[in-house]
Amino acid sequence: MSSPSACVSFTSISACPEICKLFWGSGNPDLSGIGAHISYLVQVALAVVFGPIFVAIYACLHKFSPPSALGRNMLDPLVRLHKNFWDANAGFTIPVAIAAIVRIRGAPFYEIAFLESLLTMQFLSLLSVSLAQGVVVRQSKSKRRPFERVVVTAVCCLAEFALYMGVVGRLRTTSRTTWAAVQELGTACSSYGSVLPGFDYFRGQLPTDALPNLPAPFPEFLNTDGWRRGLTIFGLSLAGLAGLVVLGAILFLLWKLIIDEREPFTVGLLSLGLSIGSLYCAVQMSRKRDAMKSISGDDFEDNEWGFGQVIAIFLWVPLLLQALGVLINYAPKSVTMVSMSTRTQKRTANLP
């Protein structure tokens, strides 16, 4: 073995192979249960719909229809629907990030890997839908209402960013000895076969770069635990300030897009990029869950339908019913008005 601690890990696992399962976990229905997982996938799908797809639909309706006719019949309900989804999305994303902050310290490594993909997916989805408001908020006739909406969006995005960076910072500043112990324990567990494939998969997803020791030019006392923690807090504070500057620049860009009433192409392109990132994270999240399922076998807990899993499935049902109502009430009228507008434009073009 590479070290005395590795020898201790191997001896302990030889005496009690179940330690590997305790270290790895067997799922958490509250986090990645089947109902919650379906709810996450519905969330990212709706974020794509109310992100770049919504911007494209909004731009087309604004371009090919007279605002006095189709605008009252289709654009207003779409804007209300978009606002309702943004509220529900933010109201779901921020509590998940808070729960992750609470859970991350004692979570098994499957949950850590799952949380990393989940939080990234939700953060990108929130930004994607928030950017789409660049073509939505400017429809309001009141100057105060767009400003209030931008402030609410900024506060929620800032809160989500701070929570997300808190989780990432907690993982990145975990001591080197902790991650070294993880490597040794994984090597020891590999003797039992079934854990190794999953460990190798998730080990690539974990932040293995620990906080390094300070280089030689720094005084030796700075390498003590107290100073290292202080420097870590200072570094995270600087990173937080840098993040605030970046977020401020993004919000300024969003506000300029609203005030200047530019074409929605830029907004749609940015929203599309964020949506692609969120979809990628959703795929990674599902792959991690499938890997954990294959490792745990019959011990996998996340496929059991419990009280909370049924509730999680119906989280987005009210919004879907609202969307169905808008589609039934306004889609036929919109198609008719677009056809009439097109015929009118053709007749006007044929006039001498």
Distance CA 87, CA 90 (A): 5
- 3-state SS assignment for residue 206: coil
Q: Would 199 be classed as within a structural domain?
A: no
Where residue 41 falls among pLDDT bands split at 50, 70, 90? very high
Where residue 208 falls among pLDDT bands split at 50, 70, 90? very low
Q: Which of 81-85, 125-129, 143-147, 179-183 has the lowest mean pLDDT?
A: 143-147
pLDDT per residue as tens digits for the range 236-269: 667 667 766 766 676 666 666 554 555 677 788 8
Angle formed at CA 240 by CA 236 and CA 243, multiple of 5 degrees: 135
Q: Would 311 be classed as within a structural domain?
A: yes
> Does the pLDDT of residue 166 top 60, yes or no?
yes
Mean pLDDT of the chain: 72
What predicted TM-score, i.e. pTM, was given to this entire model? 0.74
Helical packing angle, 317-350 and 76-103, nearest 10°:
140
Distance CA 80, CA 137 (A): 10
> Does the pLDDT of residue 101 top 50, yes or no?
yes
Q: Give pLDDT, residue 267.
A: 80
Q: Would 233 be classed as within a structural domain?
A: yes
Distance CA 239, CA 229 (A): 15
Higher pLDDT pick, 248 / 214: 248
Distance CA 41, CA 287 (A): 13
Distance CA 127, CA 51 (A): 9
Q: What are phi and psi of 266, to 5 degrees?
A: -65, -45
Residue 42 domain boundaries: 26-173+211-342
Q: Which of 87-101, 145-159, 221-235 has the lowest mean pLDDT?
A: 221-235
Q: Would 196 be classed as within a structural domain?
A: no
| DSSP string for 172-204 | HTS-HHHHHHHHHHHHHHGGGSSHHHHHHHHHT
Distance CA 195, CA 224 (A): 36
Q: Give pLDDT, residue 252.
A: 67
Cβ proximity of 70 and 105 under 8 Å: no
Q: Give pLDDT, residue 337.
A: 57
Q: Which of 67-71, 170-174, 236-240 has the lowest mean pLDDT?
A: 67-71
Q: Would 348 be classed as within a structural domain?
A: no
Which position has the token pair 């306004």?
330
Q: Would 289 be classed as within a structural domain?
A: yes
Q: Would 70 be classed as within a structural domain?
A: yes
CA dihedral for 75, 78, 84, 88, sign (positive or negative): negative
Which position has the token pair 């996450």?
40
Six token digits for residue 264: 């929605």
> Does the pLDDT of residue 36 top 60, yes or no?
yes
Cβ proximity of 135 and 267 under 8 Å: yes
Where residue 209 falls among pLDDT bands split at 50, 70, 90? very low
Where residue 175 falls among pLDDT bands split at 50, 70, 90? low
Mean pLDDT, rounded, for 144-162: 76
Q: Give pLDDT, residue 122.
A: 94
- 3-state SS assignment for residue 157: helix
Q: Would 73 be classed as within a structural domain?
A: yes
> Does the pLDDT of residue 221 top 50, yes or no?
no
Q: Give pLDDT, residue 191.
A: 60
User: How many domains does one find in the chain?
Assistant: 1
